[in-house]
Amino acid sequence: MCHFNSTHYPSIFVFSFVRKREIKMNINNLDTSLICSNDLESSISCNKIARLRQSIKGLISLFFRLLVFELNPFWIQLAYFVILSFFGYVALKITKPRTSLKPKDLDLFFTSVSSTTVSSMGTVEMEVFSNTQLVIITILMLTGGEVFVSMLGIQLSRFKLTKSSGGYQRIKDENLDEIQDENEDSTPKDRSTEYNSIKCLGYVVFGYLLVVHKLGYILVTMYTTLVPSANRVLKNKAIEIPTFAAFTTVSTFANCGFVPTNENMIVFKKNSGLLLILIPQILLGNTLYPSCLRFSIWLLWKTTKRIEFDYMLRNYEEMGYSSLLSAVHSSLLAVTVFGFMLVQFVLFCALEWNSEIMDGLNPYQKFMASLFEITNSRHTGESVFDLSTITSAILVLFVVMIAYGNVGFSTGYSCKRQLEPESDCIDKWYGFVGRWSAKGKSILILVMFFGRLKKFTLQGGKAWVLS
- Tens of pLDDT along the chain (467 residues)? 454 444 443 333 333 443 444 444 444 444 444 444 455 556 666 776 777 777 777 776 666 666 666 667 788 888 899 999 999 999 999 999 988 888 899 999 999 999 999 887 888 888 999 999 999 999 999 999 989 998 888 887 777 666 543 444 333 333 333 334 444 444 555 677 888 888 899 999 999 999 999 999 999 999 999 999 999 999 999 999 999 999 999 999 998 888 999 888 989 999 999 999 999 999 999 889 999 999 999 999 999 989 999 999 998 888 888 889 999 999 999 999 999 899 999 999 999 999 888 988 999 999 999 999 999 887 777 888 887 788 888 888 887 776 745 565 665 666 666 667 677 666 666 677 777 788 988 998 998 888 888 777 655 444 444 43
DSSP string over 326-338:
-HHHHHHHHHHHH
Q: What is the pLDDT of residue 412?
A: 60
List Cα–Cα distances, 440 to 258, 414, 417, 437, 446, in angstroms: 21, 19, 21, 5, 10
**Alpha-carbon gap, residue 268 to 154, rounded angstroms:** 38
Neighbours of 310 (CB within 10 A): 17
**Alpha-carbon gap, residue 433 to 408, rounded angstroms:** 10
Q: What is the pLDDT of residue 262?
A: 87
Q: What is the pLDDT of residue 44?
A: 63
Q: What is the pLDDT of residue 453?
A: 83
**Predicted TM-score (pTM) of this structure:** 0.77
Cβ atoms of 245 and 224 closer than 8 Å: yes
Round the CA-based radius of gyration of the chain to a whole number and report it: 27
**Alpha-carbon gap, residue 111 to 117, rounded angstroms:** 10
Q: What is the pLDDT of residue 287?
A: 85
Cβ atoms of 119 and 56 closer than 8 Å: no
List Cα–Cα distances, 140 to 80, 81, 89, 441, in angstroms: 12, 10, 10, 19
Q: What is the pLDDT of residue 318?
A: 84
Q: What is the pLDDT of residue 451?
A: 81
Q: What is the pLDDT of residue 35?
A: 46
379, amino acid identity: H
Q: What is the pLDDT of residue 190?
A: 63
**Alpha-carbon gap, residue 170 to 362, rounded angstroms:** 64
Q: Residue 219: left (phi > 0), alpha (psi -120 to 50), or beta?
A: alpha
Q: What is the pLDDT of residue 459?
A: 55
